[in-house]
Amino acid sequence: MAYFDAASAAPLHPVARQALLASLDEGWADPARLYREGRRARLLLDAAREAAAEAVGCRPDELVFTPSGTRAVHTGVAGALAGRRRSGRHLIVSAVEHSSVLHAAEAHEADGGTVTRVGVDRTGAVAPSAYADALGADTALAALQSANHEVGTEQPVAEVAEACRAAGVPLLVDAAQSVGWGPVPGGWSLLTASAHKWGGPSGVGLLVVRKGVRFAPRGPVDERESGRAAGFENIPAIVAAVASLRAARAEAAEQAGRLRELTERIRTRVPELVPDVEVVGDPVRRLPGIVTFSCLYVDGETLLHELDRAGFSVSSGSSCTSSTLTPSHVLRAMGVLSEGNVRVSLPPGTAAEDVERFLAVLPGAVAGMRERLGVPAAPSPAGRPAAPALTVDALGRRCPVPVIELAKVIGDVPVGGTVRVLSDDEAARLDIPAWCEMRGQEYVGEEPADRGAVYVVRRLG
């Protein structure tokens, strides 16, 4: 089985396993106690904090360990907002942040605060000028991920941090995807990360709050972790997490070169092997191991099952894999095709042979699905009378069926004629415009309907 979902959770690094087993014998006691076992545990915890701080680029007393990366984000956002409440209650986030950041933003809004969600371009990147324009006198905090978890696009953290510094606003950086590859550049004020993203055990997060940043922890606190992460520290897991971070950093240059070559092979060859594919994310400014693409006329959940049966573990941002039937918020913000979406995120050590086998299996899996769904072989059927306008009723039908039905009839209207697609699937709002761009047709727009919406397409050729 080839595991290609390292962006969700990287396989446990061998160094993490060794450190975990070794520290189980020494790090089980309460590090707050003064007896021998407690002192041993405290030494392990202090050494781990110093090593993590060195890797991140901060002081040891600025870093605390949390029970998860999500908890680090929630604590960091809430604490920074509370600490700067006198400055205002305005929060800035990007539209493609991890759900942990967006959920924290929603909680802030529910509590009476205001949130600006900065949009991104089709590669998934924010413009530093957009953050600068969003900054105001009442802005308490800005948040920006270092790199996107779904498409791999790296964000201009240093430029945004400079704009925030000039305005006197702290910047929180979610570095979960990138900190295993190297320190985050720029003058950020707060940073969060999660150990299972770089090959450490799950259940360990990092929260860094620079000295001078006003911070007020929310909720009940205790004396542990500077009052910012209540509860008994899981010292064996913390030691293993930091040991694997150091190991990942030591291997980063070599592994990044290998993975960039492999992901570039996928980015280049998938569109050559599979018709009607959109590769998304920045082609240059991206993480080494992530490549994401979307396939027209393909059900994302079924495609993932097909690839799983063929021996490949991949993930998807497609609405077809979601119980809510809504596209990934990242793909939606980018305005790219969501149906048949596949994210390949290669862990360090991935064999080139596994990538080649994936490229050999994918075309047949997609072709077989399209055949079963009745995808038209040609966009313009011969011998049918042309109508000036047609309506396709796709109510109650999930992606990619609305787009397939559009493709079937677009050739039945003359050049300049229109097709109106009635759909209540949220993915249609993304996928029909994306189909038009890929197939050289004109997307006229969306019209309201009693149920769902009407998407109007004009045939150009």
Q: What tokens were used for 82?
A: 């509370």
pLDDT digits (tens, 9 = 90+) for 131-171: 999 999 999 999 999 999 999 999 999 999 999 999 999 99
pLDDT given at position 327 = 80
CA distances from 442 to 83, 181, 318, 382, 388 (A): 50, 42, 24, 22, 15
Give me the percent of the chain exceeding a pLDDT of 70: 96
CA distances from 213 to 66, 80, 87, 104, 191 (A): 19, 8, 13, 19, 12
Q: Residue 113 pLDDT more than 70?
A: yes
Do 248 and 180 contact (CB within 8 A), yes or no? yes
State the number of CA atoms in the 13 A half-sphere of 105 facing the CB. Answer: 23
Q: Which residues are catalytic?
A: 320
Helix (H) or strand (E) holding 458: strand 453-458
CA distance 45 to 43: 5
Number of neighbouring beta carbons within 10 Å of residue 355: 21
pLDDT given at position 382 = 46
pLDDT digits (tens, 9 = 90+) for 316-328: 876 554 545 578 8
Task: Flag the least confident range among 72-86, 186-200, 208-222.
Answer: 208-222
pLDDT band at 386; cut points 50, 70, 90: low
pLDDT given at position 320 = 52
Average pLDDT for 118-132:
97
CA distance 295 to 277: 5
Helix (H) or strand (E) holding 114: strand 114-118
State the number of CA atoms in the 13 A half-sphere of 148 facing the CB. Answer: 33
Q: What tokens were used for 50?
A: 């110093």
Q: Residue 384 pLDDT more than 70?
A: no
CA distance 148 to 178: 9
Residue in the structure block whose two tokens are 């990619």 = 400
Average pLDDT for 62-72:
96
Tell me what the pLDDT averaged over the chain comes to: 93
Q: Residue 357 pLDDT more than 60?
A: yes
Most confident of 30-34, 121-125, 381-385, 388-392: 121-125
Q: Residue 179 pLDDT more than 50?
A: yes
pLDDT given at position 377 = 67
Q: Residue 369 pLDDT more than 90?
A: yes
Q: What angle do CA 336, 337, 340 make, to 5 degrees?
A: 145
Q: Which of 349, 345, 129, 144 is nearest to 254 (CA)?
A: 349
Q: What is the pTM of this model?
A: 0.91
Q: Residue 393 pLDDT more than 90?
A: yes
pLDDT given at position 380 = 46
pLDDT band at 274; cut points 50, 70, 90: very high
